[in-house]
Amino acid sequence: MPAFCFLFCVCENFNICYYQLPYYFMVITLIILVLSAVFFMSGKVRSDLVALCALISLLIFQILTPEEALSGFSNSVVIMMVGLFVVGGAIFQTGLAKMISSKILKLAGKSELRLFLLVMLVTSAIGAFVSNTGTVALMLPIVVSLAVSAGMNPSRLLMPLAFASSMGGMMTLIGTPPNLVIQNALTSAGFEPLSFFSFLPVGLICVTIGTLVLMPLTKWFLSKKGKKQEVNASGKSLNQLVKEYGLSSNLFRLRADTSSLLVGKTIIDLDVRRKYGLNILEVRRGDISQNRFLKTITQKLAEPDTVMQEQDVLYVTGEVESVERFAEDYLLEMLDGHTTEEAAKANNSLDFYDIGIAEIVLMPSSNLANRTVKDADLRGKFNVNVLGIRRKKEYILQDLGNEKMHSGDVLLVQGTWQDIARLSKEDADWVVLGQPLNEAAKVTLDYKAPVAAAIMVLMVVMMVFDFIPVAPVTAVMIAGVLMVITGCFRNVEAAYKTINWETIVLFAGMLPMSLALEKTGASEYISNSLVTGLGSYGPIVLMAGIYFTTSLMTMFISNTVTAVLMAPIALQSALQIGVSPVPFLFAVTVAASMCFASPFSTPPNALVMPAGQYTFMDYIKVGLPLQVIMGIVMVFALPLLFPF
């Protein structure tokens, strides 16, 4: 970052003793801030790298101590963001987002406008009682799923989602920290405290203005975001493979009851392939020893030594007549009807929690050519089943054991995701098509959706109700850990992968900037200068100056810190000219919370940045006009709601 290094030359050439002259501390801090903003807006350097360079510059010039510079990484908001990434990932992984989105989608239909309005209204309503960060974490996976289901670009909705969470926070006293800051400023000065819903009219105006302005802006600037990724997607999805090979129409589920003659026998004892011409693909059993709510579904490949137990569900392929005969002989219950037509209509397709499917194509030099599937013994060597063979336009699904394989054949194999991944390393005889492990990551553990929902509700309750003595960051950490230990992720590594570290480093690196501005007196100097210059023009002009000063400051420092710095200035300014401080303080909290022109000004803006594939300039194009229009409306609306 040559630009940051330029500061050293400035100090060296002019012999500036900044440690003796605090004024130069302020100048250097502002230069670092401006340079950071320039690099953020250019988009040519990663945002997290810019934040780290700015942080290092503050350290080198001794504006901040190492402890102060690193305080952002231990900040409760940053820790909360990490936990919320995990919670949001679990909501996705368990399919809970898809379930909730499908219900909302029914209300929206196929109308983009109706879906947009629903997202704005639902998000702002939740944001009135839950922190804007928690609201976005809760709604983000749901909104993404909604957009995909509706055939809409998620980027069109994610930025409005972040903005709506901040707008909703203006409806109640607890909606956003700046509201509590101005409440404290009023009561400390001896004024009557604000009620819980004193903020409601302001919040409703914010949501209305935000919705009206964002509808055209998002359509103009965000509709084309992220479409390139969709085009580049390759390989067949798991559902496409199931449909192509007709697995659902040839698949039957049989359950072993207490009286079943199958209980206690092994797969090899049954010998169903020779006796009935059937193939047992999988044994599905639930862990009945666990609580029903915390149930675990175990998938097992049908290995020769697998012992059948009560309530086991067998996934069997073959002719329906043979399946019926097998079920009758061993007193098994057919779960999906007695005809292939009924079975095809039933929800009896393979699930892919632990076990997956993939295609492999045999190479011309493959040693498997002209050998039967049985002789190849892929089950014994790699622990995978061959479910079907695609030979040009022909699909072979019956009597696979005696079928000879040819070079160029495409085999549909089934096994654990780890075993399928092991196949991809054996590239002498075949090539694995697509990216099975990426497909595995998309598979939802839908049987864990009730668990994820309960944990999510628990987190929200702990964050909303004051009588529960748990800090918001603690609630999020508890929720994140519970998502992992209850099995809402396949493993711990999957949970770590949900965390967007670029966003975390960006936010943690920029938080100490507010401390630097406060230490050097830059914040107070700018604020006092603007307020002093505008005081003689009347209360509306003075309030406008306070509003837009706050709005400018909150683009670079957190809304809470901005409110803390500006609230006493606004209070004293109102008292000096002899008017009520209430509209002035409301101007502070609205301006501090309604910051849309920067991705790092509020956690919600940062949270949606990677998911929406936004750049810094996207926030300028969409957020800055909204921020300016919101300010103009509020300057005239606040005196009407709270007279001077």
In whole angstroms, give the CA distance from residue 167 to residue 590: 9
Q: In what order do the strands lie in the sheet with 332-334?
A: 297-301, 279-286, 313-317, 251-256, 332-334
CATH at 310: 3.30.70.1450
Report the DSSP pairing between strands 297-301 and 385-391: unpaired
**Whether residue 313 is found in the same domain as residue 372:** no
What pLDDT, in 10s, does the model give residues 111-162?
788 888 988 988 888 777 666 776 787 777 778 877 877 778 888 888 999 9
Lowest-confidence region among 21-30, 155-164, 207-216, 371-380 = 21-30
Give yes or no for residue 70 having a pLDDT over 60: yes
Give yes or no for residue 586 having a pLDDT over 90: yes
Q: How many CB atoms lie within 10 A of CB 64?
A: 22
Q: What's the pLDDT band for 582 if we cut at 50, 70, 90?
A: very high
**Whether residue 217 is found in the same domain as residue 108:** yes
Q: How many CB atoms lie within 10 A of CB 339?
A: 11
Q: State which residues form the domain around 419.
A: 353-433
The encoded tokens of residue 152 equal: 């809409």
In whole angstroms, give the CA distance from residue 594 to residue 639: 18
Give yes or no for residue 16 having a pLDDT over 60: no
Q: What's the pLDDT band for 299 if we cut at 50, 70, 90?
A: low
For tokens 């500006």, the residue is: 566
Do the domain assignments include residue 35?
no
**Whether residue 275 is found in the same domain as residue 403:** no
**Whether residue 154 is found in the same domain as residue 262:** no
In whole angstroms, give the CA distance from residue 96 to residue 7: 51
Lowest-confidence region among 37-51, 182-196, 222-236, 574-588 = 222-236
Report the pLDDT value the prediction gives residue 631, as an integer from 0 to 100: 93
Alpha carbon of 527 to those of 214, 279, 517, 519, 521: distances in Å?
30, 77, 12, 14, 10
Q: What's the pLDDT band for 589 if we cut at 50, 70, 90?
A: very high
**Whether residue 325 is found in the same domain as residue 287:** yes
Helix (H) or strand (E) holding 323: helix 320-329
Average pLDDT, rounded, for the chain: 77
Q: Is 434 left (phi over 0), alpha (psi -120 to 50) or beta?
A: left
Report the pLDDT value the prediction gives residue 476, as an integer from 0 to 100: 82
Q: In the 8-state DSSP scheme, what is residue 64?
A: S
Do the domain assignments include residue 34?
no
Give yes or no for residue 626 having a pLDDT over 90: yes
Report the pLDDT value the prediction gives residue 71, as an integer from 0 to 100: 85
Which residue, among 137, 149, 153, has the nearest Cα to 103 in the 3D structure? Answer: 149
| Alpha helical stretches, state H, 109-250 | 112-127, 132-149, 155-168, 177-188, 200-221, 227-232, 238-244
Which residue, among 134, 110, 185, 188, has the nearest Cα to 478 in the 3D structure? Answer: 134
Report the pLDDT value the prediction gives residue 15, as an integer from 0 to 100: 40
**Whether residue 320 is found in the same domain as residue 264:** yes
pLDDT more than 90, % of the chain: 9
CB-based contact 3:57 (threshold 8 Å):
no
What is the count of structural domains for the chain? 3
Give yes or no for residue 347 having a pLDDT over 60: no
Lowest-confidence region among 8-22, 135-149, 342-356 = 8-22
Do the domain assignments include residue 166?
yes
SS (H, E, C) 477-543: HHHHHHHHHCCCCCCHHHHHHCCCHHHHHHHHHHHHHHHHHHHCCHHHHHHHHHHHHHHHHCHHHHH
Torsion, Cα of 128, 130, 131, 136 (10° steps): -100
User: Dihedral sign, CA of 23, 28, 32, 34?
Assistant: positive
Do the domain assignments include residue 271?
yes
What pLDDT, in 10s, does the model give residues 408-457?
888 888 777 777 777 777 666 777 776 665 555 555 677 788 888 888 88
Which residue, among 539, 497, 504, 505, has the nearest Cα to 636 in the 3D structure? Answer: 539
**Whether residue 84 is found in the same domain as residue 202:** yes
What pLDDT, in 10s, does the model give residues 278-296?
877 778 776 444 444 444 5
CB-based contact 472:74 (threshold 8 Å):
no
Q: Kindly state the average pLDDT of the residues 177-186.
A: 80
Alpha carbon of 604 to those of 154, 485, 601: distances in Å?
16, 27, 9
Q: Is 143 left (phi over 0), alpha (psi -120 to 50) or beta?
A: alpha
In whole angstroms, give the CA distance from residue 428 to residue 372: 18
Do the domain assignments include residue 644?
no
Q: In what order do the strands lie in the sheet with 385-391?
A: 394-396, 385-391, 410-416, 355-362, 430-432
In whole angstroms, give the CA distance from residue 90 to residue 286: 21
**Whether residue 123 is found in the same domain as residue 161:** yes
Give yes or no for residue 75 having a pLDDT over 80: no
The three-point CA angle 369-391-233 to 5° equals 110
Give yes or no for residue 84 having a pLDDT over 50: yes
Q: What's the pLDDT band for 298 if we cut at 50, 70, 90?
A: low
Q: Kindly state the average pLDDT of the residues 25-49.
A: 79
**Whether residue 86 is found in the same domain as residue 212:** yes
**Whether residue 127 is found in the same domain as residue 202:** yes
Do the domain assignments include residue 124?
yes
**Whether residue 262 is found in the same domain as residue 120:** no
Report the pLDDT value the prediction gives residue 435, as an integer from 0 to 100: 61
Can you state the angle between helices 603-612 and 501-519, rounded to 10 degrees? 150
Give yes or no for residue 237 having a pLDDT over 80: no
**Whether residue 80 is found in the same domain as residue 204:** yes
Q: Who wins on pLDDT, 105 or 141?
A: 141
The encoded tokens of residue 415 equal: 């096994």
Do the domain assignments include residue 38?
no
The pTM for the full model equals: 0.57
Q: What's the pLDDT band for 633 if we cut at 50, 70, 90?
A: very high
Q: Is 306 left (phi over 0), alpha (psi -120 to 50) or beta?
A: beta
Q: Kindly state the average pLDDT of the residues 557-563.
A: 71
Q: Kindly state the average pLDDT of the residues 602-621.
A: 83
Report the pLDDT value the prediction gives residue 587, as an integer from 0 to 100: 94
Can you state the angle between helices 2-13 and 22-42, rounded to 10 degrees? 160
Do the domain assignments include residue 254?
yes
Q: How far apart are the first and last CA of the chain?
A: 49
